[in-house]
Structure 1
Amino acid sequence: MPVAGQTVGIDLGTTNCCVGVWRNNRVEIITDYHGRRAIPSYVAFNETERLMGDAAMSQNAANARNTIFGAKRLIGRKFTDPAVQSNMTHWPFDVVSGPCDNPIIKAHYKGEERHFQAEEICAMILMEMKEITEAYLEKEVKNAVISVPACFNDAQRQATKCAASIAGLNVLRLINEPTAAANANGIDHRGCEKNVLIFDWGGGCLDISLLTLDDEIYEVKASAGDTSLGGEDIDNRMVDYFCIGICEQILRDSKMPKDQVHEVVLVGGSTRIPKLQSMPSAFFDGMELCKRVNPNEAVTFGATVKAALLSGVKSEKLSEILLLDVAPFSLGVESIGGRMITFIRQNNHIPCKKTLTFSVCKDILPSVLIRIFEGEHSMTKDNNFLGEFRLDGVLPLASGQPQIDVTVYVDADGTVTVSAIERSTGKEKKVTVSHDKGLRLLSGRKRGHGYGTLEMYKLSD
């Protein structure tokens, strides 16, 4: 069904951003006021103004403590996350622990110390992309398909949606970056079935996905990667260990022999490094790598194709393309003894749903606490906690008697919904895992000393 308003595809990159629109039966990459197609993911503050993109990056050396970059590496993470602690050692700006263990970025703006969450910085970048696009098209942009790393967890995906919401964008879909790149590779090269490995190495993370492309059906077989390994982190030992190791993991997870991979597509600016081109080629026995798509724009291209599809654009090029993506992590609930009961396994196709029946472990229990986790470990303490809810009104039946049906559903965005029904009474409780705590914190600060509103910055620039 067509959606109201202009829709775009956005590659929200760690180091650069790019936006595209479907016009004249093709993807058109938007250029900024100076004709540039990629916008640095930088935001800077000084005594008189806020600077974005190239303007922010160019004054970094003179204003390092107030020039923010790499915010995507913080989004959806906790301050105590080892990845956050590691990144902090490389950043000149200050990051401190805030409410709910959220990392808070400090900067001085117009004589005051301001505090920002990563979602707010990413929202400023998204708003900049939105305004550049509106100036280019001379019309309002309301909707977007935004790319995210395939290995982003639920909190990171929800935080990305939060940033888009702050920027005034309605997110039609989050699309995994390698899947978007497959769109770019396949849209003009349909034909017989082939297996394609998308090797996506940008400035902030490494993503590898293996897909089967069969005319109009793009089926992801497996995805893996590292959100803390990008061009900024590369040294030879990392390249040797991570590239080959993740390629081997993808083949194991997809149960596909190496000789059945027909094509390897390089995506992301880091893949321009000769060492990173030679290694995948050598791993696949000298295979010639596919370079027919611009590695810096492939993700934007694919996100724009998906945006056109979701907004109801009619085109022979877009007809009936079906993307079958996968869950980046296993999903489950906690059972007795802190064990993880897995409902949906890593690399299951999404959307998907599974129901399991549980019994209570104690007699005369009036309510049941259901705790939701993602991860691959057998014990929940080693996995990522997503949320919890309590199902009240459980009848006092004997211990061990089945009575509660729990359902876990993952939609095409990767959003997780968990519901529970008490069989004998029909009482039901449902929760959609979201970034609500972050949203509440942001909205609660609108009149405070810190964030204010993005409109305030827009008017003062």
Structure 2
Amino acid sequence: MAAIGIYLGTEYSCVGVWHDGRVDIIPNDQGNRTTPSCVAFTPDRELIGEAAENQADRNPTNTIFDMNRLIGRCFSDPTVQSDRKLWPFNVIEGAGDKPKIVVQYKGEEKQFFPEELSSMILTKMKEIAENFLNCSVRHAVVTVPANFNDSQRHATKIAGEIAGLDVMCIMDEPAAAAVAYGFKLDYAFGLNVLVFDLSISTFNVSVVEHNKGGFMVKATAGDMHLGGKDFDNRLLNYFLDEIKRKHKKDISDNPRSIRRLRSACEQAKKTLSSDVATTVKVACLYEGTDFSSNMISRARFDEINMDLFERCMGLLTKCLEDARMEKTKIDRVLLVGGNTQIPMVQKMLRDLFDGYKLCKSIDLNSVVAYGAVLQSERLKNCTPQMVALIGNSLRILQVKVN
């Protein structure tokens, strides 16, 4: 039987399978190995992934994202109440204090629970795998953030069931990353690893111990509102100030111009990971005027983002303290998420730990899915009783130390 591993992320998701003796992370119909975790509703159809994300500016109230911030939570949860002020879509209170998302679809008002929307992303992942394998897929391992509680894990499992999946295991993201790198590095028992996950809009750091029971998440810390978008926004504000100085124009209230400039800033951030300087150019940015920036250096980028880098390191220190572990006891630092490619992030980690400890041999955007695939391959031939036993033992092991 076929079994797949799915990274169900806040910003994007991806799926993989064990195929021809190796892990294959499967590209979607756009040729991308990651798919935005985004669902949209238009007057005539439902859109998922890139198609949903690409029309978000034109249809903000009916384009839904951040399902991981809602799934398994109560409407009255302070985190939900804080986040809903930032979302362009409407979140209301449903029965039993459950949040519901309200959209207009085919001329009618529709209401969805978060797990129903997450199931649409999982259905997309399932379809991507089935198209690749040319057969039906039912069994899956799905990953979740390490700080998900039982209610959030259960809701994620329900989302999988709605999508037609038998979710063999709900697996912590840092444990999946450790399994992925462990497969490559052949870890010995007793090693301690630190998983440093800096994604598009979230940051998480976890201390994981490899013992005979598997990978145990000993402590985790993070910030659900700290990630690559924050670095992009710092660059965006930097260039908005430059436009004001050079051209006496304030374009901050022009959504189209802001979107195009932010995209250029994201590309500049990526370029500065390999080059020491770059420029930002946007044709017809506003009022038919082209924009070409002054050269911005990697040093300047580091300067305007230093407080954000330091926040990451502060959370790392807290995680070590919660795990009651000295930094000298960490044997490996596993990098996860595309924004860990930022040179300053890696420099700060090398300064804190010995440089040789940094592990980045697997694609940083798909490493969690890679580990989920390995776990799915391990479980697919087990009896239901054995799957339940392994799943329960994993859940018991993955306990945060307070």
TM-score between the two structures when normalised by the length of structure 2: 0.73
Distance 1:104 1:221, change over 3 A: closer
- 1:27 is aligned to 2:23: yes
Counterpart-to-counterpart distance in 1, 2:47 and 2:380: 32
Q: Which amino acid letter does the alignment assign opposite residue 349 of structure 2?
A: P
Aligned to 2:172: 176
Matches of 1:293 and 1:140 in 2, distance apart? 28
Q: 2:349 aligns with which of 272, 280, 287?
A: 280
* Structure 1 CA distance for aligned equivalents of residues 130 and 200 of structure 2: 27
Assess, with a 3 A threshold, how the Cα gap between structure 1 residues 221 and 151 changes in structure 2: closer, same or farther. Answer: closer
Q: Judging changes above 3 Å, is the alpha-carbon distance between structure 1 residues 84 and 207 closer, same or farther for their aligned structure 2 residues?
A: same
Letter in 2 for 1:179: A
Distance 1:239 1:94, change over 3 A: farther
Residue aligned with 2:359, SS: coil
Q: Which residue of 1 aligns with 2:67?
A: 71
Structure number having the greater helix percentage? 2
For residues 16 and 185 of structure 1, what CA distance do their matches in structure 2 show?
Answer: 21
Are residue 301 (structure 1) and residue 298 (structure 2) matched?
A: no
Query: Contact (CA 8 Å) 1:10, 1:18: kept in 2 or not?
Result: yes
Question: What is the CA distance between 1:174 and its match in structure 2?
Answer: 0.7
Paired position in structure 2 for 1:312: 381
Corresponding position of 1:117: 113
Q: CA deviation at 1:205?
A: 3.5
Q: What SS does structure 2 have at the residue aligned with 1:173?
A: strand
Q: Deviation digits for residues 271-324 of structure 1, max 9, x if unmatched?
A: 2334433333333365662211111010000000000000129xxxxxxx9996
- Using the TM superposition, name which of 277-286 and 173-182 deviates more: 277-286
One-letter identity of the residue aligned with 1:132: I
Q: Where does residue 127 of structure 2 map in the other structure?
A: 131
2:224 matches 1:224? no
> How many angstroms apart in 2 are the aligned matches of 1:275 and 1:85?
34
Q: 1:206 aligns with which of 190, 203, 208?
A: 203
Q: Distance in 2 between matches of 1:188 and 1:53?
A: 30
Which of 187, 194, 199 is 1:197 aligned to? 194
In structure 2, how many angstroms separate the alpha carbons of the residues matched to 1:130 and 1:176? 20
Partner secondary structure for residue 185 of structure 1: helix
Determine if contact 1:96/1:106 at 8 Å carries over to the other structure: yes
Distance 1:79 1:184 in 2: 35
Report the CA distance shift for 1:227/1:168 in structure 2 as closer, same or farther (over 3 A).
farther
Is the contact between residue 224 and residue 246 of structure 1 (CA under 8 Å) also seen in structure 2?
no
| Whole-Å separation in 1 of the counterparts to 2:350 and 2:37 | 31
Write the mapping of 1:45-194 to structure 2, written as runs, cut at 5 A: 45-190=41-186, 192=188, 194=191
Query: What is the 5 A alignment of 1:318-357?
Result: 346-347=400-401
When structure 1 is superposed on structure 2, of 272-281 and 10-19 the one drifting more is 272-281
* TM-score (ref. length: structure 1): 0.64
Pick 1 or 2: higher relative contact order, CA cutoff 8 A, min separation 6.
Answer: 2
Cα distance, 1:213 vs structure 2: 4.0
Select 1:14's aligned residue among 7, 10, 14.
10
Cross-structure match for 2:314: 245
Structure 1: state its 5+ residue gaps. Answer: 314-320, 330-345, 348-375, 377-461
CA contact (8 A) 1:181 1:299 kept: yes
RMSD of equivalent CA atoms: 2.5
Q: CA deviation at 1:7?
A: 1.0
Tell me: CA distance 1:302–1:204, structure 2 relative to 1, closer, same or farther (3 Å). same
SS in 2 for 1:141: coil
Aligned residue for 1:250, secondary structure, equals helix
User: Aligned pair count?
Assistant: 319
- Report the secondary structure of 1:245's partner residue: helix
Could you tell me which of 259, 262, 280 is aligned with 2:328?
259
Deviations 1:204-262 (A, max 9, x none): 53332223447x86442512123623426746545423x23332333234333211212
- Cα distance change, pair 303–168 in 1 and its aligned pair in 2 (3 A): same
Contact 1:17 1:40 in 2 (8 A): yes
Distance 1:325 1:112, change over 3 A: closer
Any stretches of 5+ residues in structure 2 without a counterpart?
232-304, 383-389
In structure 2, what is the equivalent of residue 417 of structure 1?
none
Cα distance change, pair 295–233 in 1 and its aligned pair in 2 (3 A): same
Cα distance change of structure 1 residues 127 and 191 upon mapping to structure 2, 3 Å threshold: closer
Query: What letter corresponds to residue 302 of structure 1 in structure 2?
Result: G
| Equivalent residue letter for 1:205 | T
| CA 1:63–1:279: 2 relative to 1, 3 Å | same
Q: Max radius of gyration: which structure?
A: 1
What CA distance in whole angstroms lies between the structure 1 residues aligned with 2:347 and 2:151?
Answer: 35
Alpha-carbon distance in 2 for matches of 1:175, 1:272? 25
Aligned partners of 1:308 and 1:287: how far apart in 2? Answer: 30
Identity %: 41
